[in-house]
Structure 1
Amino acid sequence: MKPKAFQQQLFPVLIALFPYDSGADGQICIGEDPNEIWLAAGGSQTFTSQNHPWLYGATDSESWVFCAENPEHRIQITCDSFSVGSKGVTCIDDYLVISNTDTDNKYCGNDGPENIETNDRGTEVDFIVKTIIPLYPGFSCTATVFNPNPNSICSDADNPEENEVWLATGNSAIFTSPNYPLGYGAGNSTYWVFCAIDPDDRILIDCPEFNVGVWLIVCLGDFLSITFAYPETYCGTAGPTDVLTTERGTNVSLTVVDLYNSPGFNCTAKAINTNPVTTTVGTTTTVGTTTTAGTTTHCWNNNHCWNNNPCWNNNHCWNNNHGSNCN
Structure 2
Amino acid sequence: MKQAMGLIIGLLIGVVGALMFSRSLPAEEGTPEERIEDLQQDLKQAQRKVQILEAQVGRSGPRGVKDGVRDIMQDIREGKEVSLDDVFATMKPWMRNMAPLFDRMREINQEDWADQMTGEWSRKYDLTDAEQEQLRTWFLQKNKEKGAEFSRVVNSDTTGFVDFVQATEYEWRDTKGIEDVMGNILEGEELADFQEQRAQQGAEQVQNEANRGLSRLDQMVELDDDQQDQVFAILARGAEEYQPGKFDYDGMGADESALDRRARDEAIRNVLRPDQQVEFDAVREARREEAEKEMSRVGLSLPKNWDLLEGQSF
- Band of TM-score, shorter chain: under 0.3
Higher helix share: 2
- For CA contacts below 8 A with separation 6 or more, give which structure has more relative contact order: 2
Higher strand share: 1
Q: TM-score, normalised by structure 2?
A: 0.22
